Amino acid sequence: MAASASASLTSSATEEEITLTVKWSGKEYTVRVCGNDSVAELKRSICELTNVLPKRQKLLYPKIGNKLADESVLLSQLPIKSSLKMTMIGTVEDDIIVDQVDSPEIVDDFELGQDEAVDIKDKEVNKQKLRKRIDQFKIELKNPCRPGKKLLVLDIDYTLFDHRSTAENPLELMRPYLHEFLTAVYAEYDIMIWSATSMKWVELKMGQLGVLNNPNYKITALLDHLAMITVQSDSRGIFDCKPLGLIWAKFPEFYSSKNTIMFDDLRRNFVMNPRNGLVIKPFKKAHANRDNDQELVKLTQYLLAIAELDDLSVLDHKNWEFFAEGNAKNHRRT
């Protein structure tokens, strides 16, 4: 009894909503956060209102010193009160291409233990963050969902595009066979693109590569970093991930854990839905590798081979190369 009483006390303290006033560029914005949100999530909320990317924000708040510089700190650990005003210093990016090249290398991926991965997706605090994101985030459809189709969700950086190399024409950095891949899988899958960058960059990059308004396939929706959530793990602290549950909650009549697969070069992005992620080999050093990168050709075969299954989540996508091979052999035999 005592244990459960104290647990519920703790959770009500951290779930408490805090309404902050953030001053930026001569205007005041109202931001609503929870005690169990991290500074990273606060910055994401501010970004939604101001378009200043989280990494460009510096937050100033009386008597907190530089604690707000640590993005993993939870707001419940700071003496933040609803009545006080916070100041944000930061600039909206104009030249986002330059920014991409200058940005620091993303954090290395890491493998979470099987038990811990399960733990993260089942933790009440993480489920709650997902529910909050479902309430707040609106997915704008570029094209209607198609009944009977499965769903393919694609990352951009290092999955479809080498964003770290430079070239006069972005097409030089596009993963080989991208359009052939999207054209072929569109027969069986609706396609969404989800990048951990800003929507401005997603639209710009996909437009440059000819993915939007392509005559051979249609993109159902684009998602950006604002659709992500920050989760807590015991061994890795906090990190951002792409919860497919957001899409499933928005379009339950079309998509579920049974018919969705997501490609990303970072395994941690799947942590809320580990059964639905396939870790793609990163496409880096485009100039050296673009003549022999065959990943999208092989993955086309895999996606088309599994498209007839009723439940994709029973597959272990780690073995995808083996599956495609076995399937090809079976076809040859018959």
Site mask, Mg ion, residues 102-131, x = CB under 5 A? ------------------------------
Least distance from C-beta 280 to Mg ion, angstroms?
8
* Gap between the Cα atoms of 227 and 44, Å rounded: 10
Q: Read out DSSP for 274-320?
A: GGGEEEPPP---HHHHTTT--HHHHHHHHHHHHTT-S-GGGS-GGGH
* 149 or 267: CB nearest Mg ion: 267
What element of type H or E holds 252? none
Instruction: Select the span of 149-157, 232-240, 296-304, 323-331 touching Mg ion (CB under 5 A).
Output: 149-157
Q: Which two tokens stand for residue 162?
A: 């080498």
The interface with Mg ion within residues 158-177 (CB under 5 A) comprises 158
CA 48 to chain centre: 16
User: Min. distance of Cβ 216 from Mg ion in angstroms?
Assistant: 24
Taking contact as CB under 5 A, which single stretch among the options 22-30, 138-146, 152-160, 314-322 is the one that binds Mg ion? Answer: 152-160
List beta partners, residue 45: none
Residue closer to Mg ion, measured from CB, 37 or 162: 162
**Least Å distance between CB 181 and Mg ion?**
16
For the CA atoms of the chain, what is the radius of gyration?
21
CA distance 136 to 134: 6
Among the listed ranges 133-141, 148-156, 227-235, 305-313, the one in contact with Mg ion (CB under 5 A) is: 148-156
Phi-psi region of 189 (alpha: psi -120 to 50; beta: other; left: phi over 0): beta
Q: Where are the beta strands (DSSP E) in the chain?
A: 17-24, 27-34, 58-60, 85-89, 150-154, 189-194, 221-223, 229-233, 237-241, 260-264, 277-279
Count of chain residues binding Mg ion (CB under 5 A): 4
Residue nearer to Mg ion on the CB measure, 78 or 209: 209
Smaller CB separation from Mg ion, 123 or 281: 281
240 binds Mg ion (CB under 5 A): no
Q: Which is nearer to Mg ion, 14 or 208 (CB)?
A: 208
Tell me the window of 151-159, 211-219, 253-261, 310-318 that interacts with Mg ion (CB under 5 A): 151-159
Q: What residues form DSSP beta bridges with 23?
A: 28, 87
Shortest distance in whole angstroms from residue 303 CB to Mg ion: 18
The only residue of 37, 41, 155, 295 in contact with Mg ion, by rule CB under 5 A: 155
- Spatial CB neighbours of 75, under 8 Å, sequence gap ≥ 6: 18, 33, 34, 35, 36, 37, 38, 39, 42
CB of 246 to Mg ion, least distance (A): 18
CB burial of 47-83 (b: ≥16 within 10 Å; e: otherwise) equals beebebbbebbebebeebeeebeebebbbbebebeee
Residues 242-271 that bind Mg ion (CB under 5 A): 265
C-alpha neighbours within 13 Å on the C-beta side of residue 6: 2
Q: Site for Mg ion (CB under 5 A): which residue of 157, 162, 240, 295?
A: 157
Contact predicate 273/127, CB 8 Å: no
Instruction: Rank residues 9 and 106 by Cβ distance to Mg ion and give the closer one.
Output: 106
Select 37 or 240, whichever has its Cβ closest to Mg ion. Answer: 240
Residue 305 Cβ, how far from Mg ion at the closest point, in Å?
Answer: 24
CB of 240 to Mg ion, least distance (A): 12
Task: Say what the alpha-carbon torsion angle 88, 91, 96, 98 is, to the nearest 10 degrees.
Answer: -110
Instruction: Give me the least distance between CB of 269 and Mg ion, in Å please.
Output: 8
Please state the closest distance from residue 259 (CB atom) to Mg ion, in A.
Answer: 23
Helix (H, G, I), strand (E, B) or coil at 23: strand
Task: Specify the residue, 24 or 239, whose C-beta has the smaller distance to Mg ion.
Answer: 239
Binding residues for Mg ion, rule: CB under 5 A, are 155, 157-158, 265
